[in-house]
A and B are shown apart, each in its own frame.
Chain A
């Protein structure tokens, strides 16, 4: 019994070691790919975590109100401030990516940006342009017909003025928005 486990452990260690060295051993373009670092995506992760925490707190406050562990004035005050903060976060999320499909949005963006990476001869300076280039492409392609705000590829509405995207656009989301499902969970 101990021998197969030992072999598994050795295999695991070697796999870990290989993966640890990979970013430094790889071709230059692959190395650069690791450095594609998107502040926007990080912000989305942070915002989602904060939103989940706020929703949990709201649920607790609701419960405390039901069991008289919080005075009605405090309940209103806490609830309002929490809701205000939650709404602010949701606004920010909406502004980043139209509030929908954020996970596949991240995936798509990563793929798009990796594809946009320059060929090996190009130096690191070009990499900096990669994300910007895609962003400006999006701007050129899709903007809100009402207010002119650039639309993210998966947004169905403008995040600023709420105007629906033109019906001709066929890239509609595949399933319902994850934002509301978070709240009920």
Chain B
């Protein structure tokens, strides 16, 4: 039986990049946490991640897990956003030869995967070159 609930709980992060900022030390938690990993504080204020950054590292996936079978080969990268948060996502709309550390990227709303032809479609963010 399809289970759309898990993805639905993640919509604020996947759709809108909602994060939480520790009220004591300023660490941004994405996804949100109950306890700050830096200072142990339990109070956070809502914030939104920056939508641009630069690529820190990347790899090309040629043997993908099932939901991404049709997309291979594809690039996955970690980028440091303007607010210092390091985020992992696919890097799309980019020839592999143009991928390099330091590449300026921005986040775009894309289809992440779908539960076959009849199931729920999951959306979220991916990097594209700026």
A and B interact = no
Q: Which residues of A contact B (CB under 8 A)?
A: none
